[in-house]
A and B are shown apart, each in its own frame.
Chain A
Amino acid sequence: MASNERLTDIFNDCINRLAQGESLADCLRAYPEEASLLRPMLEAGMRSRELLPPAVEVRAESAAVWQKITQTMDLAPVRPARRMPVSRILALAAMLALAVVTAAWFLLDRQQQQMLANMQATQTAEMALTQSVTATFTPTATPTETPSATPTQTVTPSATPTPTVSPTPTLFLVQPPTRTPQPISAPTADNSGSGSSNSGSSGNSGSSGSGSSGDDSPDDDSPDDDSDDGPDDDGGDDD
C-alpha cells in the first residue's frame, strides 16, 4: 500500500513537472528507481495531447465566437421595445383599478376597525376610571354634602316656635280688663259693698275696649278667677 501511494505521488509530481515545461527525461532523472515503470505511463498520458484540435481551428473558432458574443451583447440594449396591444393595456388598467379599489376598501375597513377599537378602549378606560374614582371618593363626597343639606333642614324647625309664641300676647291682652275695674275708684264715696250692681255702669265712663271685653267673658265670674283677682285688688300698688 505504501509503495502504491508513493508511486501515485511520484507519478503526480511528474505530471506537474511536465505541465511546467520540464522534459520527460529531466523528470525521470529525479526518480531513477521508478523510471522504468513510470516512463511508458507518462508517454501514454502525453500522447493524449495529440487529440487536441489543431491551432488553426482554435484561432478560427476564437474569432467566430468573439464576433458572436459581441453581436449578442451589443444587440441586447438596441432591441426596440415591443408595443403592447390595447386589449392587454385595458386588462392591465382594469386589474390596476381593481387593486386600487380593493386597497382603498381594505384601508377604510381597517380605519373603521381601528376607530371602533379606540372607542371601545376609551369606554373601557372611562369605566375603569369612574369605578376607581367612586371607590376612592365616596368617603370624601358624603361629608361635603351633609353640611349643605342641614341648614335647609334647620329652617323648618324655626317655623314651629311661631305658633307657640303667638298665644302669649293674647294672654297679655286679656288680663287688663280684669285688673281695671271701674268700681275700684268709686269706694271713695261709698264703701258698703254694692260693687256688683255698679259694675255695669262703669262701662260707660271708662275705656270702651276694656269694658266690653269684661262683659263678654262670662267665665271671668268663676270663683277661681275671683279668688285669683282678690289679692290683686287688695294690693293696689301694682297699678
Chain B
Amino acid sequence: MIVIVLPDIPIENELLDRARQGDQLARRTIYEQYFPPVYNFIRLRINDRQTAEDIAADVFLDFFRALGGKRAPSGSLRGWLFRVARHKVIDQYGANQRLTTPIDEWHPDAPENMPDVQFMRASRTERIREAMRLLKPEQQEVLLLRFAQNLSLEETADLMDRSVSAVKSLQFRAADNLRQLLNDLEREA
C-alpha cells in the first residue's frame, strides 16, 4: 500500500486568507510555523550563518510584501516559501552548490555536556556531511527535502522541476549511493 503525504492545505488557506486581510496574528503564526523549515532549508546549503539569516529574512519579506499582490501564494505555502528560498540560494551560490561546511563550524544539537558523547556525535555528523558532500547536488537536495525536511514527493518534484516518477527514482539512487559512501567512510575510520 502506497500512502502519499500531502500538506495541510485547508489550514494554510485559512491562514493565508487572514494574513491577506492584514491579520497580524495570522502573519505571526505563519512565520513561526514556516521559519524553521525555511531556515533549515537555507542553512543546509549555506555555510555562513549570517548569510543564511539574511536570505531567510529576504524570503519572508518577499512573502509579506507579496500577500496583497498578484504574486501571493495560492497553493502550497511551504512550496512557495521553499521555491523562493531555493532561487535566492541559487542566486547567491549557483545551482551546483554542495555542502562544504567544515566540521569545526558546525554546532550539532547536543544537549549532553559529556565530551565523549559530543565527540561521538561530531564524528558521525562529520562523516554524514562528508558523504553528502560527495553526492551530486540533485541527490543531496532530494535527500534533504525528503528525509530532513519531510516534504512530500509532489512538493519535492514541484520544487525541483522534475516529474514525480523521476524524483522517486532519484531518491532511491541517492539513498543507495549515500549508503555506499557511508560504508566506505566508516570502514576507513
Residues of A at the B interface (CB closer than 8 Å) are 7-9, 11-13, 15-20, 30, 40-58, 61-62, 64-66, 68-69, 72-73
8 A-B pairs whose Cβ atoms sit less than 8 Å apart in the complex: A8-B172, A9-B168, A19-B150, A41-B178, A48-B143, A49-B148, A54-B109, A58-B36
Q: Is the CB of B40 within 8 A of A69?
A: no
Q: Which residues of A contact B5 (CB under 8 A)?
A: 16, 19-20
Among candidates B36, B49, B129, residue contacting A62 with C-beta atoms closer than 8 Å: B36
A46 to chain B, nearest CB (A): 6
Instruction: Name the residue of chain B whose CB is nearest to the CB of A76.
Output: B65
CA gap between A11 and B4 in the complex, in Å:
12
Among candidates A16, A50, A53, residue contacting B39 with C-beta atoms closer than 8 Å: A53
A28 to chain B, nearest CB (A): 14
Residues of B at the A interface (CB closer than 8 Å) are 1-5, 28, 31-32, 35-36, 39-40, 43-44, 49, 52-53, 56-57, 60-61, 64, 99, 107-110, 124-125, 128-129, 131-132, 143-144, 146-148, 150, 152-153, 168-169, 171-172, 174-176, 178-179, 182
B65 to chain A, nearest CB (A): 8
Q: Which residues of A contact B175 (CB under 8 A)?
A: 11, 41-42, 44-45
CA gap between A15 and B154 in the complex, in Å:
13
Q: Is the CB of B153 within 8 A of A12?
A: yes
Q: Is the CB of B52 within 8 A of A51?
A: no
Q: Is the CB of B39 within 8 A of A7?
A: no
Question: Given A53-B40, A57-B49, A62-B32, do A48 and B132 touch, yes or no (CB 8 Å)?
Answer: yes
Instruction: Name the residue of chain A whose CB is nearest to the CB of B164.
Output: A12
Q: Is the CB of B172 within 8 A of A7?
A: yes
Instruction: Name the residue of chain B whose CB is nearest to the CB of A30.
Output: B1
Q: Which residues of B contact A64 (CB under 8 A)?
A: 53
Q: Which residues of B contact A51 (CB under 8 A)?
A: 44, 99, 125, 128-129, 132, 144, 148
Q: Which residues of A contact B99 (CB under 8 A)?
A: 51
CA gap between A8 and B147 in the complex, in Å:
15
CA gap between A98 and B106 in the complex, in Å:
65
Q: Which residues of B contact A72 (CB under 8 A)?
A: 57, 61
A35 to chain B, nearest CB (A): 15
CA gap between A11 and B125 in the complex, in Å:
24
Pick from B3, B32, B132 the residue with the most CB of A within 10 Å: B3
A86 to chain B, nearest CB (A): 34
Q: Is the CB of A65 within 8 A of B147?
A: no
Q: Is the CB of A45 within 8 A of B39?
A: no
Q: Which residues of B contact A56 (CB under 8 A)?
A: 109
Among candidates B61, B109, B147, B172, residue contacting A48 with C-beta atoms closer than 8 Å: B147
Question: Given A12-B171, A54-B108, A62-B32, do A48 and B39 touch, yes or no (CB 8 Å)?
Answer: no
